[in-house]
Amino acid sequence: AQSVSQHNHHVILSEAASLELGCNYSYGGTVNLFWYVQYPGQHLQLLLKYFSGDPLVKGIKGFEAEFIKSKFSFNLRKPSVQWSDTAEYFCAAYGNNRLAFGKGNQVVVIP
């Protein structure tokens, strides 16, 4: 079964700082990877996804993620965060006919 690990559960940073969230998945054949964002009190929304092609994926709101197969990683980045990026971020990976989520990163951006 696919498993996903995310590190540094709580991240606090100032506006304009750069953000990088780590995500590692367990090997399970063909990999489909996702990042979802959950703003306070809201549902999950897709930020970006990777299933083939260019390993550097651009998503919404200035986010990008890089798939590095040799490291089993799919890290999320944003060069300059805004207060509105305060949210919970979830990495997810497809395997064994189900989408497995990591435990999330709680990101707080201070104005």
Partner 1 sequence: DTAVSQTPKYLVTQMGNDKSIKCEQNLGHDTMYWYKQDSKKFLKIMFSYNNKELIINETVPNRFSPKSPDKAHLNLHINSLELGDSAVYFCASSQAPGGVMGNTIYFGEGSWLTVV
Q: Which positions lie near partner 1, rule CB under 8 A?
A: 32, 34, 36, 38, 42-46, 49-52, 88, 90, 92-95, 97-101, 103-104, 106
List the structure tokens of 44. 């999950």
Other C-beta atoms lying within 10 Å of the C-beta of residue 48: 19
Least distance to partner 1, CB of residue 79, Å = 25
CA distance 39 to 41: 6
Cβ proximity to partner 1: between 50 and 109 the closer is 50
Cβ proximity to partner 1: between 16 and 46 the closer is 46
Least distance to partner 1, CB of residue 61, Å = 16
CA distance 82 to 95: 33
Cβ proximity to partner 1: between 11 and 44 the closer is 44
Q: Taking a C-beta distance cutoff of 8 angstroms, is the pair 25, 43 a contact?
A: no
| Helix boundaries (H) for 1-111 | none
Least distance to partner 1, CB of residue 103, Å = 5
Cβ proximity to partner 1: between 18 and 42 the closer is 42
HSE toward the beta carbon, residue 32, CA cutoff 13 A: 8
Identity (one letter) of the amino acid at 48? L
Least distance to partner 1, CB of residue 21, Å = 14
